[in-house]
């Protein structure tokens, strides 16, 4: 096992990794920007190093400083958390070149899945269902148009270097296509420095259903069920749950088999997520693979009783997974993201001092947070201040617990998403599980004050 793990991240995930390391009897190093000097991850770690000014690119994205911090403190491994450098293949390579274990998949696995067109090809080559579309990046507008006509409108044009919704354009018909194509291409070029795009049939009302994957270096690859993340706004997830409300054991078997097949195809090691689109007719398609621990991982941890972060550390140290078959489900789990932003003002970030902070508690309630009374939410990073995870014997009980937990959750100072999520919990569509990836944006008016 490792002696000392450096956490190249901040906020709640830095704390989460410190807790996993403590249980494994591994020492920890926090790195922090000047804006995070008073952060809990700095206090909870065994050692800490300031790595620069507040902006991410000068601190949490500064590879030479992070490597230097690991060398100075004698860390033999780095956990990247999510965001920042978590899916940066060059960072994983630099760690290896510096004799530091990267707690995550190989640089090659990160690179393959980071190229969305390459990932799509790898899946197709291994009989994982993909949305009908162009076999790879298209050469020019004419070729793209020909594919679009062949698969039928509406189509979606996606950036090969994109992901998470960046560099995507929908075309309803042939008239719209040329314009959408040029927009997608120039957006991809300016955002990623790579103008490669591919074309897919556009699914109108899909659900976002993702499978948690774990793999080790001893040939074990398994899935730990799904998470339904359909309640999103502008590709920012607000609520995640498991099981998916429309899942059946038979569908889980087929989707889970496909997800494991996809992960096995690249000999995946570590924790990862296969994102799929589940169409209204029950067909499902590979969308992307995320090669990191995700924000919503506690949903799976609570449902199956597996510590995913500990598994990540074990696997990176060369140990086998401690779980090799899907454990029984324990009821139903829902997570809500508590962000310091104002839903009534277009989710505008609301940084500043948290004057009062009373998180909820009791049976079936977990709160992952780095916030405390007196904590100042900095304006430099994403605005999530807590994740509220509730578990019930049934979905109904989980929703009831979520309502009560949100009522108990007191945050004074910044505006938060707490009241907005409360309204969703009372909504008929949500309660009946009748949602899709565009549902929140279509019905936004219902959740206004």
Counting contacts by CB under 6 A, is residue 87 touching ligand MV4? no
Q: How far apart are CA 447 and CA 424, in angstroms?
A: 7
Cα–Cα nearest to 132, from 119, 118, 147, 146: 147
Nearer of residues 288 and 368 to ligand MV4, judged by Cβ: 288
Classify 296 as helix, strand or coil: coil
Nearer to ligand MV4, 144 or 277 (CB): 277
Q: CB of 367 within 8 A of CB of 406?
A: no
Give whichever of 233 and 330 is closer to ligand MV4, judged by the CB atom: 233
Catalytic member of 185, 207, 252, 292? 292
Among 218, 235, 426, 446, the residue binding ligand MV4 under the rule CB under 6 A is 235
Contacts of 37 (CB under 8 A, 6+ apart): 50
- In the DSSP assignment, the letter for residue 57 is G
Q: Dihedral sign, CA of 192, 197, 203, 208? A: negative
Is 185 a catalytic site residue? no
Residue 294 in contact with residue 350, Cβ under 8 Å?
no
Q: Closest approach of Cβ 237 to ligand MV4, in Å?
A: 8
Instruction: Kindly state the smallest distance separating residue 437's Cβ from ligand MV4, in Å.
Output: 3
Q: Can you spell out the DSSP letters for 15-28?
A: HHHHHHHHHTT-EE
User: Pick from 131, 188, 384, 386: which binds ligand MV4 (CB under 6 A)?
Assistant: 131
165 sits near ligand MV4 (criterion: CB under 6 A): yes
Distance of alpha carbon 315 from its chain centroid, rounded? 20
- As a whole number of angstroms, the distance between CA 227 and CA 249 comes to 14
Closer Cβ to ligand MV4, 6 or 156, answer by number? 156
Contact 17, 77 (CB under 8 A): no
Pairing verdict, β 197-201 and 155-163: antiparallel
Q: Which residue is nearest to ligand MV4 (CB)?
A: 437
Strands (E), 35-181: 47-52, 77-79, 101-102, 155-163, 166-171
Distance from C-alpha of 27 to C-alpha of 85, rounded to nearest angstrom: 21
Binding of ligand MV4 by 206 (CB under 6 A): yes
Take residue 34 and report the two structure tokens written for it: 């000047």
- Binders of ligand MV4: how many residues, by CB under 6 A? 17
Could you identify the residue written with the tokens 């990794």? 17
Question: Of 111, 82, 131, nearest to 295 (Cα)?
Answer: 82
Min dist. Cβ of residue 94 to ligand MV4 (A): 27
What is the CB neighbour count within 10 angstroms for residue 148? 27
One character per residue 336-375, x = contact with ligand MV4 (rule: CB under 6 A) = ----------------------------------------
Of the residues 287, 299, 315, 354, which one makes contact with ligand MV4 according to CB under 6 A: 287
**Near ligand MV4 in 379-438, by CB under 6 A:** 437
Q: Of 48, 228, 240, 288, which lies in the binding site for ligand MV4, with binding defined by CB under 6 A?
A: 288
Nearest to 109 by CA among 268, 345, 235: 268
Closest approach of Cβ 180 to ligand MV4, in Å? 13
Tell whether residue 292 is a contact of ligand MV4 (CB under 6 A). no
Region near ligand MV4 per CB under 6 A, out of 173-181, 194-202, 337-345, 388-396: 194-202
For ligand MV4, which residue of 29, 92, 113, 156 counts as binding (CB under 6 A)? 156
User: Whose Cβ is closer to ligand MV4: residue 347's or residue 409's?
Assistant: 347
- CA separation (Å) from 53 to 34, 49, 430? 5, 12, 42
Query: Is residue 203 involved in binding ligand MV4 (CB under 6 A)?
Result: yes
43 vs 235 by CB, closer to ligand MV4 = 235
Contact window for ligand MV4 (CB under 6 A) among 9-17, 162-170, 319-327, 385-393: 162-170
Nearer of residues 229 and 338 to ligand MV4, judged by Cβ: 229
State which residue, 131 or 399, has the beta carbon closest to ligand MV4: 131
The tokens for 27 are: 């020492």
Question: Given the complex with ligand MV4, which of 200 and 241 has the nearer CB atom?
Answer: 200
Residues 207-226: x where in contact with ligand MV4 by CB under 6 A, - otherwise, as a string: -x------------------
Residue 249 near residue 237, CB atoms below 8 Å: no
Residues 6+ apart with CB under 8 A from 230: 207, 208, 209, 435, 436, 437, 439
- Quick one: which segment of 77-85, 201-209, 261-269, 333-341 binds ligand MV4 (CB under 6 A)? 201-209
Strand pairing of 27-33 and 47-52? parallel
Stretch that binds ligand MV4, among 141-149, 158-166, 172-180, 211-219 (CB under 6 A): 158-166
Residues forming the site for ligand MV4 (CB under 6 A): 131, 156, 163-165, 200-203, 206, 208, 232, 235, 277, 287-288, 437
Catalytically active residues are: 292
């Amino acid at each position: 096992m490792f002696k000392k793990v450096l956490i190249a991240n901040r906020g709640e995930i830095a704390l989460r990794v410190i807790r996993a390391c403590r249980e494994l009897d591994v020492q920890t190093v926090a790195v922090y920007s000047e804006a995070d000097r008073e952060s809990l991850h700095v206090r909870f770690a065994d050692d800490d190093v300031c790595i620069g000014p507040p902006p991410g690119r000068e601190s949490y994205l500064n590879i030479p400083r992070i490597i230097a911090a690991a060398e100075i403190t004698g860390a033999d491994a780095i956990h990247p958390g999510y965001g920042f450098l978590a899916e940066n293949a060059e960072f994983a390579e630099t760690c290896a070149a510096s004799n530091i274990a990267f707690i995550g998949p190989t640089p090659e696995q990160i690179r393959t899945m980071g190229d969305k067109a390459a990932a799509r090809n790898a899946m197709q080559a291994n009989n994982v269902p993909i949305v009908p579309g162009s076999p790879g990046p298209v050469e020019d507008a004419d070729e793209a148009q020909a594919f679009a006509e062949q698969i039928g409108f509406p189509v979606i044009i996606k950036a090969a270097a994109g992901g998470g919704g960046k560099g995507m354009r929908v075309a309803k018909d042939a008239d719209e296509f040329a314009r959408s194509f040029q927009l997608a291409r120039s957006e991809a070029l300016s955002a990623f420095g790579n103008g490669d795009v591919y074309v897919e049939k556009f699914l109108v009302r899909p659900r976002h259903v993702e499978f948690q994957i774990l793999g080790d270096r001893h040939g074990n690859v398994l899935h730990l069920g799904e998470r339904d993340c359909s309640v999103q706004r502008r590709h920012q997830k607000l609520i995640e749950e498991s099981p998916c409300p429309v899942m059946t054991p038979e569908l889980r078997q087929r989707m889970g088999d496909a997800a494991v097949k996809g992960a096995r195809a690249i000999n995946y090691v570590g924790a990862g997520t296969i994102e799929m689109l589940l169409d209204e007719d029950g067909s499902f398609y590979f969308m992307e693979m995320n090669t990191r621990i995700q924000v919503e991982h506690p949903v799976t941890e609570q449902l199956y009783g597996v510590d995913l972060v500990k598994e990540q550390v074990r696997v990176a140290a060369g140990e086998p997974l401690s779980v090799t078959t899907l454990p029984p489900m324990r009821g139903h789990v829902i997570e809500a993201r508590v962000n310091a932003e104002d839903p009534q003002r277009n989710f505008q970030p609301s940084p500043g001092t948290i004057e009062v902070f009373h998180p909820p508690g009791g049976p079936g309630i977990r709160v992952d947070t780095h916030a405390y009374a007196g904590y100042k939410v900095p304006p430099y990073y994403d605005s999530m201040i807590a994740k509220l995870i509730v578990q019930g014997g049934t979905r109904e009980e989980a929703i009831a617990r979520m309502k009560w937990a949100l009522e108990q959750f007191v945050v004074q100072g910044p505006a938060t998403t707490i009241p907005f999520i409360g309204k969703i919990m009372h909504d008929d569509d949500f309660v009946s599980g009748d949602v899709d990836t565009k549902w929140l944006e279509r019905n936004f008016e219902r959740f206004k004050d």
